[in-house]
Structure 1
């Protein structure tokens, strides 16, 4: 696992490369490598997981093929064996060292042979210099880039990329609306107009003569299979997930698991405990008495699995002081309060001495676990509107009240994110579940979940592995008959069936609840978070961007004080996160402070 960076075209000074590396050192503190030549550079910061004494990057084949790589290749042993039989020589057993030979043998199709999570950069100097970038099927490892026709720069994290001279900081004008509509920018967009993120399952080729060409790798269709009855479908899900969870237990360092107390992480914990005796399980809760406390269920799961249980207790009084750090690591706003919980959770994993942990992320997307999916399937012909409203940090009517007249007019002219998503959902045909799952997997999962997990875990030098993102699990889920995923008010039916007997009934039979921060209770007068938010979201400086009406923002606090509710609390939280981010930009970026 690493942080990677580099460029083709342009001329980046050595001290600028060192600054990019320094800004990502938290994600790879074990070693730093780089190489540079005429108009190119590659570098990485290493978090040693496999072959602790090897792993020097860039990996090379001869003088002309060089590779930097972030992630894990789970089938590297099989690939190395086959490549060795074909005459290739390897000098260590690190998983990434197979990539140069694989590229040399198969060209751009090399990614078709990889099983894992990855962001890869291949520099090919054999003819016209060529930079090849690739991401895994799910988009587990992000790769940000800026390309201007003459040069391309890339890195694993936004603050590092923005430290490169010439990478523009111009903001995407519609970004605020996009953020409040979906909690973070979806697709390839970022909050910066000149910076994009490579989509999932993508291979990009850049040359100075031809520019950048991005292609999404072909994906097999997902026709519904005859899954048999629900019990048979559950058994298939259980065995497929078991095989992948056991495969993901391979590492040269100790492995742990996240156990929130919900179905998905509980099932991963139970299956991992079969492979890793006395595995360590981590849960986060908050000091005091708050809603959505799941630690009782997490303890039951750990006890049943024989796991060593770690309870991380976070003090809400410290939250205002942590938000600047959380927002900086994300690089752009994410309105889900879970970001703060996630940051503290992985800090606890790191402090306990673990570099690797498994989580249950992505189960809801592929098995149909969200209430918004259930409601869309039960809804009228106007279901896309309700579905998009359920994604929002701030409902559409409230967004309109918060915006200035000028910003509302700009959005009227350019269109909104809500309109774009609705068009996509309607264009995907009459199969609602297929349309929703495609959108969730293509856009929301990588942007909203996987980048958050990646950035906030690697902030503490922790690698997260995701069994539900493995190709075999995802394909099985998407090919199940619709009624084995969602039927009426029941969601994730096959997954629940597969977990029966492995996960305590108390977890399976309780209502689904969010793994998040209880901000409605925390954003009331007298609580530290409330005072901090009110101070930051008041005053004339709030109007400087010309997008938000300060009086309307003040009205949110009045409403929350009079009658605390989820809508006003999440709106305040979302604006607070955006405000912290814009202040970091106004200060010149936290990146400059950290690189100094």
Structure 2
């Protein structure tokens, strides 16, 4: 697991490369490697997980094909045996060491052979001019941010957005409609970021460009299990068997491995399957005091049944303002999920306890149909009622009517010309092939999961030098989920029917029978008068301050505070939380991006940069 960065068909000074490396060294503190020429450069920060003494990057250094790589290739041993049988000599047993030889053997199709999570940059110097290839895994577990300048045909890229800004001259203009996109979907979807000139490479993408040329971009088709069965018992048995196999593979590392156990179905099932392979350590996070949605007792019950050594992490809500600033800095752009704070603190505790790898239960809801908004939309569609607006409002940090009330008249007019959702995503969601639940599942997997969940998990785990592994994102598991019929996902008011059936007998009855609840920060209860979070939000979202940019009506925001103080409400509290996160982001990035390019250190980022050093 690493961080990567580089440039192509342009110039970057050694100082810029060192700045970018320093800005994301928390994600790869064990080594830094670079290769530079006047026209291109590749860089890497390494977090050693497999073959701790090997793995020098760029792989293939000095040869005709050089690669920097972020992620894990879980089938690297199988690939290594095949490559060595074809006469290739590999320098060590690090998973990424197979990449140059694999490319030499299969060309641009080499990514079809990879099973894992990754982004990579490959430089092929065998032709008349160098060629750069960028690639991402099938669901976007490892993001890659880039700036492509079509005028001079130059590229700069990195694993983290704040690091990309370290190249200088990037991120000078924030997309004017970005606030609306953020409030509509809780973080920008598709290739977009908050910045006009920065994009994200989509999942399953291969991007290829020759020096001085224009890029060719190919998106690989999604894996769908062609042997799917409609019998519920057989489908559940296949899911259990596949998950058991994938969890076993993901436990393999040359460093200590832990498990994130929330107490819900998904992470509890991963915990139970991991415990079949030997003793495990589980981690759960809770908040000091008495709050709604406290799951620590469920997590402890799961851990006890698995025979795990359980670590209960507890954080004090009084420290949330400082924690929020650190969290937003590492994300690089706003993400409205309140659980981001807990995610950051939890992975920091995992690392402090001596673990470098952690398995999580993320993505099960997207793969197997676990969200209440999915159930409601499917039932409304079956009844012939409109489902789309309710579903889209459920995705948002502030429903459409509330957003419109918060905006100034001028900003309302502006955002109608630049919709929050990518056109292709919206068209497929509303009018694409398949049932409503089929379309929602595609949308959740292809757009929401990578943008909203996986980038958050990646950035906030790597902020503490922890590699998060996600069994439910494995190609075999996602392929099974995509092939399920509607009734195998949701029926009779029950969500994730196949996954619940797969977990039967493996988990405590109380965990299997408990009502589904969100794994989140109880922000409605915590954002109230008298708490440090309330005072912090009131200060940063003062009417004059939020009105200054001409997008938000300060009086409307003030009225939202008054409503929340009088009668706490999930809708109002999430909207206020989202606005607070956006304001913290603006303070750290929008108002300081030019200074970031010059100095590499934005205001408010001193503590994470101490860790990175």
Q: Shorter chain as normaliser: what TM range?
A: over 0.9
Aligned with residue 212 of structure 1, among 211, 215, 220: 215
Q: For residue 36 of structure 1, what is the aligned residue in structure 2?
A: 36
Q: Distance in 2 between matches of 1:421 and 1:443?
A: 8
Q: Distance in 2 between matches of 1:418 and 1:388?
A: 13
Q: For residue 587 of structure 1, what is the aligned residue in structure 2?
A: 592
Q: Distance in 2 between matches of 1:324 and 1:69?
A: 29
Structure 2 counterparts to residues 338-377 of structure 1, below 5 A? 338-377=339-378
CA contact (8 A) 1:256 1:358 kept: yes
CA change 1:535–1:188 in 2 (3 A) is same
Q: For residue 46 of structure 1, what is the aligned residue in structure 2?
A: 46
Q: Distance in 1 between matches of 2:552 and 2:76?
A: 51
Q: Secondary structure at the match of 2:10?
A: coil
Q: For residue 254 of structure 2, what is the aligned residue in structure 1?
A: 252
Q: For residue 21 of structure 1, what is the aligned residue in structure 2?
A: 21
TM-score, structure 2 normalization: 0.94
Count of paired positions: 594
Aligned with residue 409 of structure 2, among 399, 405, 408: 405
Following superposition, the deviation at residue 62 of structure 1 comes to 5.7
Unaligned runs of 5+ in 1: none
Structure 2 counterparts to residues 370-519 of structure 1, below 5 A? 370-379=371-380, 380-417=384-421, 422-519=426-523
Q: Distance in 2 between matches of 1:539 and 1:564?
A: 20
CA contact (8 A) 1:224 1:480 kept: no
Q: For residue 96 of structure 1, what is the aligned residue in structure 2?
A: 96
Q: Distance in 1 between matches of 2:306 and 2:268?
A: 9
Q: Secondary structure at the match of 2:373?
A: helix
Q: Give deviations 1:126-183, integer Å, cap 9, x for gaps.
A: 1221110000111100000000022101100000001112323311111111100110
Q: Distance in 2 between matches of 1:69 and 1:561?
A: 49
CA change 1:421–1:94 in 2 (3 A) is closer
Q: Distance in 2 between matches of 1:30 and 1:415?
A: 42
| Stretch deviating more after TM superposition (479-488 or 107-116) | 479-488
Structure 2 counterparts to residues 78-477 of structure 1, below 5 A? 78-127=78-127, 128-149=129-150, 150-220=153-223, 225-228=228-231, 230-275=232-277, 277-379=278-380, 380-417=384-421, 422-477=426-481
Following superposition, the deviation at residue 395 of structure 1 comes to 0.9
Following superposition, the deviation at residue 484 of structure 1 comes to 1.4
Q: Give deviations 1:569-592, integer Å, cap 9, x for gaps.
A: 111100000000011121346652
Following superposition, the deviation at residue 209 of structure 1 comes to 3.2
CA contact (8 A) 2:185 2:420 kept: no
Q: Distance in 1 between matches of 2:155 and 2:425?
A: 29
Q: Distance in 1 between matches of 2:561 and 2:325?
A: 21
| Stretch deviating more after TM superposition (412-421 or 469-478) | 412-421
Q: Secondary structure at the match of 2:276?
A: helix
Q: Give deviations 1:324-367, integer Å, cap 9, x for gaps.
A: 11001000000010100100110110110000010011100010
Q: Secondary structure at the match of 1:501?
A: coil
Following superposition, the deviation at residue 87 of structure 1 comes to 1.0
RMSD, aligned CA: 1.6
Q: Distance in 2 between matches of 1:33 and 1:357?
A: 25
